[in-house]
Amino acid sequence: MEKIVIIGEEPLQGTIEISGSKNASLPLMAASILTDETIVLKNIPNLADIHTMASVLESLGVNCNKSDLINKNIIQLNYHGSDKALAEYDLVRKMRASILVLGPLLARKRKATVSMPGGCAIGARPVNIHVDALAKLGGEFNLEKGYIKCEAKSGLKGAKIELPMISVGATENIIMAASLAKGETEISNIATEPEIIDLIDCLKSMGAQIEVQSDRRVLIQGVESLNGTTHSVIPDRIEAGTYIIAGVITKGELQIKNVNFDHIANLLSVFENLELNITRENNNLIVKESSVSKNISLDTKEYPGFPTDLQAQIMVLLSLSKNASTIRENIFENRFMHVPELNRMGADININGSQATINPCNGFSGAQVMATDLRASVSLVLASLIAKGETTINRVYHLDRGYENLENKLAGCGANIKRIQ
């Protein structure tokens, strides 16, 4: 099993370019099932999750041409109409986003069998929201031996759907399915993350009739078929936030390129309240070492609130403050698993239910630590960059799911970081 070893206290100096968004890429790839024509996705990150989704799609009859993925960040997808509508356990168990093939399969094949998904163990994230919404479009469902089996013999038909809670995955699944349903679909209480808007923009370029309302509603007029398209994936806002924090806590100066300021407006507002040394230059950010003297209280919320995917990373920053801060986790019930590992490195973080209190600490020290999920693993990287001595991070396959070329990007700016067996 691979490990990452970091010797801390090296100043970071240089430029880091933000990759395409993983969370935008996965539903865009699933959308390839909706058309017989080729979809070309540009600015797609070369990540383990991308390869996992490609494997799922290939098992369903999608030709995934990844020859330009490593050097040019381009993938071409073409669904050739296979009769297979089964997403098997061995593939789906690796990543929860595999559930995103359910809606497109039901819309195109009028049937689908998809294994219950796996992925990071950070919360239940039940699939019943997806299933209940698709049932209102005409799908008939049952659960057999760990598989979701569904059928829509007469095809999908438009309906009014109100999601019981804001769910990114369910919103994406239903929008894709409704694009080919007969008649009009109105979905309310949708998630409005930039990744969803990116999916909608791509679907519209494929010929979908979708109109986003300002009150978390979307109207969709179903069409008979969709065409191929070429689409450039948006920058990864979570990766941007992660490297901004890296620049703030290390002794140096980072230029972070390819940032969409609108997508991280809430995060930038938090940094502004903390009076951090960050300046904007075109679509780039200049990030310098900053001292943190203020305390804040954060609540993770659905977009445009503070993202749960940056909760672990900002804990490292807040640990360096002169005053205690609090974070309440409102999205996932099991997303503080990184706290014991950060405390092993010198943090002073207390958990009480869904709230974490981050007390000032005397800095971080190198240690043996273990990653428990994607964002937890990168919080350990951040702590290691400023820790005294050597840190070994185990189970780093989590990092490979969401951060493209992390070691190279950090080493290129002066970090003492290497991957070992």
Q: How far apart are CA 113 and CA 149, in angstroms?
A: 4
> Residue 260 to residues 27, 75, 305, 313: CA-CA distances in angstroms?
20, 22, 16, 19
Q: DSSP strand E in 154-208: where?
A: 160-162, 184-188
204 Cα distance to chain centroid: 22
Q: Give the per-residue pLDDT at 89.
A: 81
Q: Give the per-residue pLDDT at 123.
A: 40
Q: Give the per-residue pLDDT at 119.
A: 43
DSSP 345-365: TT-EEEEETTEEEEE--S--B
Residue 182 carries which DSSP code? B
Active-site residue identified among 120, 150, 202, 413: 120
The pTM is what?
0.95
CB 240 within 8 A of CB 18: yes
Q: Give the per-residue pLDDT at 118.
A: 52
Q: How far apart are CA 298 and CA 332, in angstroms?
A: 15
| Sign, CA torsion 45/46/47/49 | positive
Parts of the chain with a pLDDT under 50: 119-125
> Per residue in 68-104, pLDDT tens?
999 999 999 999 977 778 888 888 877 878 899 999 9
Q: How far apart are CA 254 and CA 289, in angstroms?
A: 9
Three-state DSSP state, 132: helix
Q: Is 202 a catalytic residue?
A: no
Q: Give the per-residue pLDDT at 247.
A: 95
- The three-point CA angle 19-309-389 to 5° equals 80
Domains of the chain in start order, with CATH, are 3-19+235-420 (3.65.10.10), 22-232 (3.65.10.10)
296 backbone dihedrals φ, ψ, rounded to 5°: -140, 160
Give the chain's radius of gyration (CA, Å): 22
Look at residues 248, 253, 263 and name the one whose alpha carbon lies nearest to residue 15: 253
**Sheet with strand 74-79: strands edge to edge:** 62-65, 74-79, 39-42, 229-232
Q: How far apart are CA 109 and CA 107, in angstroms?
A: 6
> Per residue in 343-352, pLDDT tens?
999 999 999 9
